[in-house]
Amino acid sequence: MSSWSSPPTRRELTLLLFCVTIFIVAYNANTSLRLLGLDSSSLIPFSSSRTLPIGPDGRRPEGYRDTLENEIFGEWGWEPGHIAGVKEAESARILHGKIDGNSDTYLRGEGRSGEQAMWLQGVGEGRYGHGDGLGSTSVNDELVRWGEDVPRSELKQHVPAIGSSMVNHNDPPRDIDWQVFPAQTAFRKFGPYGGRMHGVTFLSYDGPSTTDSHTLISLQRLYSTLNVSSPQSLSPPHRLFFPAIPTFADRRPEPNDELAPRRRSSIGVEPQTLKSAYPSLVGAMFAEDFDDFVGIGAPLLLDRLVVADRGAARRSGLLREVPAWSLPFTALETAEEWFEPVRRTLREYFGFVDVGGEDAAIEGHTITYLSRQDGLEGERLKGSDHVALLDALGRLAKTGVRVRIVDENTSWTERLHAITESTIVLSVFGDHLADAVFMKRTRQSALMEFFPSNIFNRDWETVVRSMGIRYVAWQGNQEKLPAVSHTASYEDFALDAQAVVRAITDELDRVS
């Protein structure tokens, strides 16, 4: 008998080779069955390692669920064709019955998430198809093949004027800036197909020096004139183009300088305001983005385009003292509710719900003072008058009126939250009053703007009066609307704080 350290015999080698062969064959068979969607363990009669069945909801049977699975997925029940976690009786009660106290807006189908949830449930119940509720377009609609029947543009609303050159906005357009093609020759120019931009596109033709806080609101005003009787029924804008403004306002850094921070170009509205008040906008696109579309080399069809061009407005015969952005407010008409969709969206962002009648009176009044005293430059009140105004507002707060003091150091969230709940907003003149368009609209709503004796303009008067909000201009100790005047330099100016507070009280007591 050989020892254990002796070389393997022929019989042992044959047995070892047979075992390896059986393993390889079994492994490959198991892998092949898995590729065919079969579980090999289910074919083994006495196998104790069968995989647990998975339900149609993607979870293991209830008796096999552990703490980790419940932590990840929750312990809700699920029925095919219904929203997970919502019982049919509870859903019916919420949808058709009256709920006391705090209602579950998600289950009632309110808001974007609620609408999507109700749509999913409706698809499961067969009330409508999968395409309903997702819009009228799909990924198959991004390219349009029109053959020889090139789509025609239709001018819906405009103020007659001559457009601007992309190179110099003070000059009329060059041939390559704006072109009009007859239908007979359009096919030779554009070809049989092109890309498509669905929805509404806002385009500002102005450069960096003329783009300010009035740009976007002028585009919104112009767009609202398409439906004078019901501007709230218009679809929201989907993109905002600035083809004459570069993405960054600073100089391009050196190629090897990867740490240099870049300063984005200003478009007259804060990024937070743009994203919260216009959630449908994909964001602002600039000259580089415009060049990208040009570089495609194919025509691009825009469903609806709203264009603002201050150079063109100037060439329409405007008086010198009339701002170029004001034409949509003065030359075109629409309802006072033209800005309501945007204003309401921002108010809902902060959790406010618009109410009227007795409910609005119960809410009370809020006064917001936008202070500019701590700024390094710009307009401000005299120090003593600023302190006097704060004291007077403090005494007014003791009567039950909510008073908010907002300065340059206040965060965007706190500032806009205060403004959206305000009945009256007051401040020195300037572009920072652009946020006042989001104030609450009631019969007592008013914007009070303070001017020095040598400066006055009607910029924000034009805007807020178009919304049905009362406008009050102050110079010194009296409310008045003097002639428009502009001065390059000015100093801190005086204001009668007591007269201002008396006027505020009169506004709150006024019933129209």
Which of 259, 325, 245 is closest to 290 using CA atoms?
245
Cα–Cα dist 149/206, whole Å = 33
Which of 511, 502, 493 is closest to 472 using CA atoms?
502
Residue-level pLDDT at 490: 58
Largest CA distance in the chain: 124
- Amino acid code (one letter) for 18: F
Return the sign of the alpha-carbon dihedral for residues 254, 255, 259, 262.
Answer: positive
Cα–Cα dist 161/164, whole Å = 10
Cα–Cα dist 59/61, whole Å = 7
- Amino acid code (one letter) for 509: D
Length of the chain: 512
Query: What class does CATH assign to 350-509?
Result: alpha beta
Q: What b/e string do you get for 496-508 counting C-beta neighbours within 10 Å, with b at 16 or more?
A: bbeebbebbeebb
Q: Show the beta-strand stretches assigned E in 110-214.
A: 143-145, 193-204
pLDDT in tens, the chain (512 residues): 556 677 888 888 899 999 999 999 888 887 776 666 565 555 555 554 455 667 777 777 777 788 887 777 777 767 776 666 555 555 555 455 444 444 455 555 555 555 555 555 554 444 444 444 455 566 667 888 999 999 999 999 888 888 888 888 888 888 888 888 898 889 999 999 999 999 999 999 899 999 999 999 999 999 999 988 777 788 899 999 999 999 998 887 777 777 778 888 999 999 999 999 999 888 899 999 999 998 988 899 999 999 999 999 989 888 888 899 999 999 999 999 999 999 999 999 998 876 654 445 546 789 999 998 887 677 889 989 999 999 999 999 999 999 999 998 899 999 999 999 999 999 999 899 999 999 999 888 999 999 988 888 889 999 999 999 999 998 877 766 666 666 555 567 788 888 888 888 888 876 54
Helix, strand or coil, per DSSP, at residue 296: helix
Residue-level pLDDT at 475: 84
Angle value at C-alpha 466, between 465 and 469, nearest 5 degrees = 40
End-to-end, the C-alpha distance of the chain in Å comes to 119
Containing 115, the helix (H) or strand (E) segment is helix 111-124
Token look-up 């025609």 returns 152
Cβ atoms 368, 401 nearer than 8 A: no
Cα–Cα dist 286/266, whole Å = 11
Residue-level pLDDT at 230: 78
Which of 104, 137, 102, 99 is closest to 118 using CA atoms?
104
Residue-level pLDDT at 73: 74
Which of 277, 266, 321 is closest to 431 using CA atoms?
266
Cα–Cα dist 345/148, whole Å = 43
Domain segments of the chain: what residues?
Answer: 21-51, 149-248+265-340, 350-509
Residue-level pLDDT at 100: 45
Upper half-sphere CA count for residue 379 (Cβ side, 13 Å): 21
Which of 349, 371, 214 is closest to 272 using CA atoms?
349
Cα–Cα dist 475/403, whole Å = 22
Cβ atoms 214, 268 nearer than 8 A: yes
pTM above 0.75, yes or no: no
CA 291, chain centre distance (Å): 24
Cα–Cα dist 293/156, whole Å = 25
Upper half-sphere CA count for residue 284 (Cβ side, 13 Å): 24
